[in-house]
Homo-oligomer: A and B are copies of this chain.
Amino acid sequence: MATFCGSRYNNNELVNDKGIVMNQPKMTDVAKKAGVSPTTVSRVINRRGYLSTKTINKVEAAMRELNYRPNMVARQLQSQRTMTIGILVPTVANPFFGELTYKLERDFFNAGFKVLIGNAENDVEKERLYLQQLLARQVDGLVIATHNHQQQIPEYQNANLPIVSIDRYLRASIPNVSSDNYAGGRLATEELIARGAKHIIHTDSVERFNKRDYLRQQAYQDVMNEHGLTPVTYKIDFGSQPELMRQFFNRILDEHPEADGFFASNDMDAIQLLQTARQREIRVPEDLQVIGYDGVPTTTRIVPELSTIVQPLDEMAKVAVDILQREINGERVTGSHNLPVRLRASASLKQ
Residues of A near any B CB (own CB < 8 A): 84, 91-95, 97-99, 101-103, 105-106, 109, 114-119, 126, 133, 138, 242, 268, 271, 275, 297-299, 301-304
Q: Is the CB of B301 within 8 A of A242?
A: yes
Given contacts A92-B98, A94-B98, whether A302 and B268 have CB atoms under 8 Å apart is yes
Q: How far is the CA of A91 from the CA of B105 in the complex (A)?
A: 10
Most buried by B among A92, A95, A116: A92
22 A-B residue pairings within 8 Å (CB atoms): A84-B116, A91-B102, A92-B92, A93-B102, A93-B103, A93-B297, A95-B298, A97-B98, A98-B98, A101-B117, A105-B118, A106-B119, A114-B138, A115-B116, A115-B117, A115-B118, A116-B117, A117-B117, A242-B301, A268-B301, A268-B302, A302-B302
| Residues of chain B within 8 A of A117, CB atoms compared | 101, 105, 115-117
Sort A-B residue pairs by CB-CB distance and give the 9 closest, nearest first: A98-B98, A93-B102, A93-B99, A92-B98, A92-B92, A91-B102, A93-B98, A92-B102, A102-B119
| Residues of chain B within 8 A of A298, CB atoms compared | 93-95
Q: Is the CB of A302 within 8 A of B303?
A: yes
Q: Is the CB of B119 within 8 A of A105?
A: yes
| Residues of chain B within 8 A of A126, CB atoms compared | 109
- Say which residue of B242, B268, B271, B304 sits within 8 Å of A242 (CB atoms): B304
Count of this chain's copies in the oligomeric assembly? 2
| Residues of chain B within 8 A of A115, CB atoms compared | 116-118
Q: How far is the CA of A3 from the CA of B19 in the complex (A)?
A: 78
Q: How far is the CA of A85 from the CA of B144 in the complex (A)?
A: 21
Least CB distance, A107 to chain B, in whole angstroms: 11
Least CB distance, A322 to chain B, in whole angstroms: 19
| Residues of chain B within 8 A of A271, CB atoms compared | 302
Q: How far is the CA of A122 from the CA of B14 in the complex (A)?
A: 48
| Residues of chain B within 8 A of A94, CB atoms compared | 98, 298
Q: How far is the CA of A273 from the CA of B210 in the complex (A)?
A: 38
Residue of B nearest to A99 (CB): B93
Q: How far is the CA of A304 from the CA of B245 in the complex (A)?
A: 12
Q: How far is the CA of A299 from the CA of B95 in the complex (A)?
A: 10
| Residues of chain B within 8 A of A268, CB atoms compared | 301-302
- Say which residue of B97, B109, B302 sits within 8 Å of A299 (CB atoms): B302
| Residues of chain B within 8 A of A304, CB atoms compared | 242, 275
Least CB distance, A266 to chain B, in whole angstroms: 12
| Residues of chain B within 8 A of A303, CB atoms compared | 302-303
7 more A-B contacts (CB under 8 A) besides A109-B126, A268-B302?
A92-B92, A93-B103, A105-B118, A115-B118, A116-B117, A268-B301, A271-B302
Residue of B nearest to A133 (CB): B114
| Residues of chain B within 8 A of A93, CB atoms compared | 95, 98-99, 101-103, 297-298
Least CB distance, A304 to chain B, in whole angstroms: 7
Q: How far is the CA of A93 from the CA of B104 in the complex (A)?
A: 11
- Say which residue of B92, B109, B116, B275 sits within 8 Å of A114 (CB atoms): B116
Least CB distance, A131 to chain B, in whole angstroms: 13
